[in-house]
Amino acid sequence: MEPNTFILFGATGDLAKRKIYPALYNLFVDGKLPQAFSVIGLGRREWSDESFQANVEKSLHQFSRREAKDAGLVKDFLRVFRYSVLDIDRKEDYLKLLKLTESREDELRIPRNRLFYLSVGPEYFETIAANIQVSGLGSADGWKRLVIEKPFGHDLQSARDLNLKLGKAFAEQEIFRIDHYLGKPVVQRLESLQQANPVIQALWTNRYIANVQITANESVGVEERAGYYDHVGAVRDMFQNHMLQLMMMAAIHLPHDSTIEEVRFKKKKVMESLELLQKGDVVANVIRGQYKEGSVQGKPVVGYTSEPGIAPDSMNDTFIAAKLQLDNSYWRGVPFYIRTGKRLKEKSTRIVVEFKEPLKQSLAKNDDGITPNLLVIDIGPNEGITLQLNAKDPEQKGAYKPVHIDLHASQENSPEAYENLIGDALTGDPTFFAHWDEVELSWQWVQPILNAFEENLVPLHLYAAGTYGPAESDALLAQDGYHWWFDSKPEQNNEISKGVQYA
């Protein structure tokens, strides 16, 4: 890794404290940062270098997966941190930042390689990028890279507008759009799952697969994010980015030793093959929900419209389930079911591939309840990849039982998503970042859903907190003869939910 300067906008914020500083520290401990490395934190607070370093150290003790017990190691790490007050709109502050950056580069005798990490709201992206260009921060000899967090746009047009503006200061290959789901080790292993297992690669088609289910259950509510969340909902907060990225990773077919370009090309082809929904088709393929009062892990919780900062008549979606179809030779006829929501029964993220069951018809007389073969990819909170197959049960004559083959040895204290992604950004590897083509195609697919929600063409189903969402999401699969895997059977599955809101 080349020596460089890591320039962090939003250095006093929550994301920096919880994710970025611990990630940098763990990379440092693992020897994955260059010998000569500098971090310059920026924020509006009047901090000195010493107070900044003290706050970074505090974040390590609170949030690092490694205990920061080695005082000498921590001291060496903190030495690279400097702080500068910056008002995003003040051009003079960028000139001051330029002088500090050049001074540190000269002091460390390192090239003008600069990574700009924007840990700030998306409304500031354009202003910061423009000021980086105008001030000369991004025009020095050496490389420059821009790392930005979601959301990238609010809809298709705003995403295109933002991309056009960022493109005036940074080329596409210099822009790294973080989707932290792509940094999770088990998701990154999906790329090699087929390559390292020819049997799975051979089965990865519509000839053998019945359906694919991608679920991200969240047990939390809106917490302190009411002001943000009530304007985005589950469709923008989770579906357009994280869930569609997981779908791309599950659906791509990669040759052995695929290059970065091949991975991105294949992901783009997946999105291009995704059948677009017309606005009138949304109601038949998308379930929209909002949580009401209920109980999560034995504790009573209020409904969404009773949360602080949420209007009592809010029609915002806190749950979305959808049926997607890919029109290509590999997946034609295989439904992809995606769901995500807040205040659900448990916290879990997983991909389940259900294989067609050739034995089911022949064995129906002996065992109507035979379980299909499954490939289960647990992404969080526990990681694992398991192949579930049927085998003869020696204790029950003529019966079968599922056996499990572990394909992913979960490693204790394995790198977290931000470690992988920040490390890749520093080395210039964009494999697990969202390319603009993917972002644009994702917004194109989601836009008719946004339009239908805006016009209230899709009913808003209420579901009790602590369940798996509205029963209509179960019906979405049931009409095709399937069901969600690994859900315990909550009460609302017994009948279609009665709470339906229209404007």
For the CA atoms of 473, 479, 484, 487, what is the dihedral angle to 10 degrees? 70
Distance of alpha carbon 213 from alpha carbon 483, whole angstroms: 9
| Alpha carbon 379 to its chain's center | 11
Tokens of 499: 């709470």
Q: With CA atoms as reference, report the closest residue to 70 among 25, 17, 11, 38.
A: 25
Q: In 3D, which of 352, 380, 382 has the Cα closest to residue 217?
A: 380
Burial degree of 393 (CB within 10 A; 0-12, 13-18, 19+): middle
Based on the number of CB atoms within 10 Å of its own CB, is 264 exposed (0-12), middle (13-18) or buried (19 or more)? buried
Q: Residue 418 in 3-state DSSP?
A: helix
Q: What does the alpha-carbon distance between residue 334 and residue 61 come to, in Å, rounded to a whole number?
A: 47
What phi, psi does 26 have (nearest 5°)?
-65, -35
What are the residue numbers of the active site? Answer: 242
Q: What burial letters (b/e) apply to 331-352, b meaning 16+ CB within 10 Å? A: beebbbbbbbbbbbbeebbbbb
- The residue among 433, 372, 360, 359 whose CA lies nearest residue 174 is 433
Strands 335-341 and 348-355: unpaired
